[in-house]
Structure 1
């Protein structure tokens, strides 16, 4: 069993751009996404050539369980699948999203930053995968507001109900980074 131990943050500003190590365009489709937190996702990634790796395409099927420890820890099972299978699954996935992912050279964990596209733009979220739930972390200043545990901002939730569908006041409060933006039950 693999565990995903992750913290998520709303990003403001552009200071993170100097830390980019790699980039990929992700297309995600949710085949199962229930209120109990179980998700089955198909993902394709088209990476940009960098000094460390060639450009290419990959595809995965991922099963995630509901989060525990305040939204920090989930079981995650991920499997490589053929790209053609992933494209067929994306064609039937009822909820989808796309984003540009940037791997960051930053200490303290495995950092990535997602710039959401389409109906979830202009949302920008940083994620860091940790080795254990109690791990201390130096959070960069451009990580404006912690989103860990906010189920309305999970990728599955954003695929089902994108930011563009939120009421204007709630959307603006979130994007402004207001600490009291409405939670999932209020959006």
Structure 2
């Protein structure tokens, strides 16, 4: 079986916690607005409906309510999908995604699930495409950077705006954030980071890392 066929329903990614967006890299970029809702978000299993409006971001803050944003921006959404996810293990996660009608997706999000809202920026760094997600509502001011490849993400150059790795921290998965928003445990995480310091996984080959400019 060809490699891409064997792995077509799996995603390979590494994810990192950031204090803020790297303005020098995102200043000229218009983000994609994403509103998504989780109908299953337990034990790292998830069923998700996602809507996205390309090249149309909105200001993200603790007051950026997902459903209000959906209603205000509904005619700008250009794509929608339904995705089933399995648990993440070592940067690998089962993810079967299917495109669905935008109007149907909007109605489903309005009718149920646990919604989140975020702006997504995309940038090239070295040979990798990075997504930088700035969350709103109860997940503000969380910033997560992630890099995805068609196979395991090994020998990665980790940029200095990535403070610590959260690849296998289920709290930071989007379905985890739908269940327990970042604002509910931000202080606990800050304390963990202050006590134990940043860490990066070492089972993905060679990491090249730089000390973050903003410290803890």
TM range (shorter): 0.7 to 0.9
Structure 1 residue 173, shift from structure 2 partner: 3.2
Structure with the higher fraction of residues in helix conformation:
2
Contact 2:49 2:109 (C-alpha < 8 Å) held by counterparts: yes
Residue 29 of structure 1: aligned partner: 37
Structure 1 residue 14, shift from structure 2 partner: 4.0
**Matched residues, number:** 170
State the TM-score, normalizing by the size of structure 1: 0.81
Unaligned runs of 5+ in 1: 50-54, 182-187
- Give the distance between the partners of 2:22 and 2:107, measured in 1 at CA: 38
Among 30, 40, 47, the residue aligned to 2:47: 40
Relative to structure 1, the CA distance from residue 178 to residue 145 in structure 2 (aligned partners, 3 Å threshold; closer, same or farther) is farther
Structure 1 residue 178, shift from structure 2 partner: 3.6
Residue 13 of structure 2: aligned partner: 6
Structure possessing the higher radius of gyration over alpha carbons = 2
Asked if 1:65 is matched to 2:73, the reply is no
Relative to structure 1, the CA distance from residue 118 to residue 132 in structure 2 (aligned partners, 3 Å threshold; closer, same or farther) is same
- Give SS of 1:59's match: strand
Residue 168 of structure 2: aligned partner: 149
Residue 185 of structure 1: aligned partner: none
Relative to structure 1, the CA distance from residue 58 to residue 171 in structure 2 (aligned partners, 3 Å threshold; closer, same or farther) is same
Asked if 1:180 is matched to 2:199, the reply is no
Unaligned runs of 5+ in 2: 1-7, 57-75, 198-216
State the TM-score, normalizing by the size of structure 2: 0.71
Residue 140 of structure 2: aligned partner: 121
Asked if 1:163 is matched to 2:192, the reply is no
Residue 117 of structure 2: aligned partner: 98
Q: Deviations over 1:27-80 (max 9, x none)?
A: 010011221x2211000001117xxxxx85211111111122x3x001111111
Relative to structure 1, the CA distance from residue 148 to residue 178 in structure 2 (aligned partners, 3 Å threshold; closer, same or farther) is farther
